[in-house]
Amino acid sequence: MPELPEVERGRLVAEKTAVGRTCLSVHGKDDSIVFCDQSRARIARALKNKLITRACRHGKQLWLEFENAPALLIHFGMTGSLQAYPEGQEPPRFSRVELRLTGGIHLAMPDPRRFGRIRMRDDPRNEPPISMLGFDPLHQMPDKSTFRDMVVARRTTIKGLLLNQKFCAGIGNWIADEILYQAGIDPRTRTDGMDDSSIERVRRWTRKIIERSVEVNANSSKFPRTWLFHERWGKPEGALTRRGEAIEIMTVAGRTTAWVPSAQS
């Protein structure tokens, strides 16, 4: 379930299970939607018998580097993930690609909905789609005044800005809602004209929520009890937060938005 923390979990899976091993073969159904740029066969040919040297991430983009170019670039879409399992075991349900590695390890990307994408890039950081992305909030959070300048230069809603991957790479729908709930800011607030203290609260909570969810390996049952996350899914309109505040649902920036009017202005 892929926002930055879930993708970072995928990166760690790859780092622990795949780095240092050689890719023996690449399997999966030919699928021009998932393999949107190069065919599965072409990827298989390019990666066969190459050593995996690094697992990297920027925002929601994940890639494996090999002893030489190209790299394998993976995006999880809405329902993708990465799983390792021993040789002899069936690939996970909805698996779209499987890498067979030395040492009897297989690495698969299950993705029921097929919004995920698998491509190759010679220099991933400096080519689209990654070159189009904004800063990664886990590693590149701007300082207070830079961040303020970036925010007020835009003319949109704060939620729309947080979701804009060209601004900040890795925030998705629930994280944007969580940031704005914790920061006490109405998701519809215009970015130009926001006061410095509100902007700084957004910056700090962005960092906090990203760090905290990465720390627990994106395991939502370990998120702090005070997070709106736990209340937003069952989401009968009128549900209450742990603090007894009424939660409302509206659409902002085209996305379902859970918020607490009494605590966000």
Instruction: Say if residue 112 is preceded by a cis peptide, omega within 30 of 0.
Output: no
Q: Which stretch binds DNA (CB under 7 A): 20-28, 37-45, 167-175, 204-212?
A: 167-175
Spatial distance between the Cα atoms of 253 and 187, rounded to a whole number of angstroms: 9
Least distance between DNA and beta carbon 72 (Å): 17
Least distance between DNA and beta carbon 243 (Å): 22
Spatial distance between the Cα atoms of 113 and 79, rounded to a whole number of angstroms: 6
Tell whether residue 165 is a contact of DNA (CB under 7 A): yes
Spatial distance between the Cα atoms of 4 and 206, rounded to a whole number of angstroms: 12
Tokens of 176: 């944007």
Options 12, 19, 44, 78; binder of DNA; rule CB under 7 A: 78
Tell whether residue 230 is a contact of DNA (CB under 7 A): no
Tell whether residue 156 is a contact of DNA (CB under 7 A): yes
Spatial distance between the Cα atoms of 177 and 161, rounded to a whole number of angstroms: 12
Longest CA span, the chain: 59
- At 149, phi and psi to the nearest 5? -60, -40
Tell whether residue 187 is a contact of DNA (CB under 7 A): no
Least distance between DNA and beta carbon 140 (Å): 17
Residues that bind DNA (CB under 7 A): 1-3, 6, 33, 59-60, 75, 77-78, 94, 112-115, 129, 154-157, 160, 165, 172-174, 233, 235, 251, 253-256
